[in-house]
Amino acid sequence: MLKSHITINKMSILKQIVAIVTFCFGIFSYGQQDAQYTQYMYNTVSVNPGYAGSRGHISIAALHRSQWVGLDGAPTTQTFNIHSPIGYRGVGLGLSIVNDEIGPTSETNFDVDFSYTVWTSTEGRLSFGLKASANLLDIRFSELNQYSTDPTLQQDIDNRLSPNIGAGVYYHTNKFYLGLSVPRFLETTHFQETNLSTAKEQMNLYLITGYVWDLNEFVKFKPTLLTKVVTGAPLQVDLSANFMLNDKFIIGAGYRWDAAISAMAGFNISNKFLIGIAYDKETTELGNAAFNDGSFEVIFRYDFISTKNNLKSPRFF
């Protein structure tokens, strides 16, 4: 019994150490990255304002992600977005809310997206987007187990508000899409009590692309790529391949460069309603930890299609 008790205590201490290291890396690092998504192909408007209105009707999506399940203080992310074309002049508008929590920190972004679309050919459309956002940051230092008195960790930070702006371009046809965006240009310092206690935004540059092949009458194949670049952090590359069967069932896999492998599945309940799930398994040493059960993600999307002729089959992106 004593040996079992010691083992449990060691595991608890290890969890706390990893959680504290993860938290400190996020707070004291200058090259912080935005929240990541495995099902990024269904959540494009969160990172590229040019996507707003591109589906041709009102579209609503909600996503939840639990990362590194079993690890104390591990990141969780929730997103909600709604966007739609406005009138007949190529204008699109959208609203996005992203809530990201890790340890004693929580960060919420409220984004308003504007896009303007021009036709480049009979099928091609090029959209230019602008994003205006407000960031709320909470850091609850009081929740940390402090083993020494550090004056920089004695006062919580509540609802620290900072504005930001972003932009993106998005091109798509019925089969292909390509987007480039920077959701936040301003490298805002959220707080700075000392040189060692700083949380600073960095510009995240996103490149997203994909193509849909009709393998036959019943099967569609879509490879996709998401690349994210930010100063002070490793290059993130997400590759995925999805198959859509009979315009209903979606199954696929993904690989995050030097980080994780993923499995994805989805179901089009109708032309309007999509449900998608994903599971990530870390390929790093963290993935082998006994207390890390992987990362889970679920997304719901509903399109308000007004007529049957508006959309002949479900959009694969």
**Amino acid at position 180, single letter:** L
Q: Nearest-CA neighbor of 20 among 183, 125, 144?
A: 144
Q: Which residue has the higher pLDDT, 1 or 229?
A: 229
What local confidence, expressed as pLDDT, does residue 2 receive?
36
Domain boundaries, the chain: 50-211
* pTM reported for the whole predicted model: 0.82
What local confidence, expressed as pLDDT, does residue 285 receive?
74
What local confidence, expressed as pLDDT, does residue 141 receive?
64
Which residues lie below 8 Å from residue 95, measured CB to CB, with a gap of 6+? 81, 82, 83, 110, 111, 112, 113
Among the ranges given (54-58, 177-181, 195-199), the one the predictor scored with the smallest mean pLDDT: 195-199
What local confidence, expressed as pLDDT, does residue 27 receive?
41
Tokens of 200: 């600073």
Distance CA 294, CA 70 (A): 8
Could you give phi then psi for residue 229, rounded to 5 degrees? -120, 130
Asked if 176 and 210 count as a contact pair (C-beta separation under 8 A), the reply is: yes
Which fold would CATH assign to domain 50-211? Porin (2.40.160)
Tell whether the model's pLDDT for residue 14 goes beyond 70.
no
Which residues lie below 8 Å from residue 291, measured CB to CB, with a gap of 6+? 11, 14, 15, 70, 71
